[in-house]
Amino acid sequence: MAETYTSPQELSSRLGRAEAPTVIDVRGDDEYAAGHVRGALHIPLDELDEHLAEIPRDRPVVTYCNMRHRGDSRGERAAELLREQGYEATALDGGYPAWAAGGNPVEKAS
């Protein structure tokens, strides 16, 4: 079975590389504006189907939300939807809170 999670540490180490994954924030507008993974695309979960053409198919995808309910979070559902569409997709384990708590680079809307 394919891996379904990417740890914040693993994502951080992969972001600077040529084969860096596409990172997608599937949270709402206010959550995204409050802080997000630097360089992440913002595509709310309920709009993901409409934006598939914008997501490169030639590299892995990491989706995330706030992962308050591991096992049924928006990030996990987004990764599953993308896998069903043929993408190599995983969810960021612990979501944005775990990313920020690890001291990783974040951006906020200005």
Cβ atoms of 24 and 110 closer than 8 Å:
no
Which of 65, 89, 91, 98 does the annotation list as catalytic? 65
| Count of CB atoms situated within 10 Å of the CB of 22 | 20
The token pair at 100 is 């920020």
Q: Is 65 a catalytic residue?
A: yes
CA distance 18 to 100: 23
Cβ atoms of 33 and 109 closer than 8 Å:
yes
| Count of CB atoms situated within 10 Å of the CB of 67 | 22
Tell me 87's DSSP state. -
Which residues carry out catalysis?
65
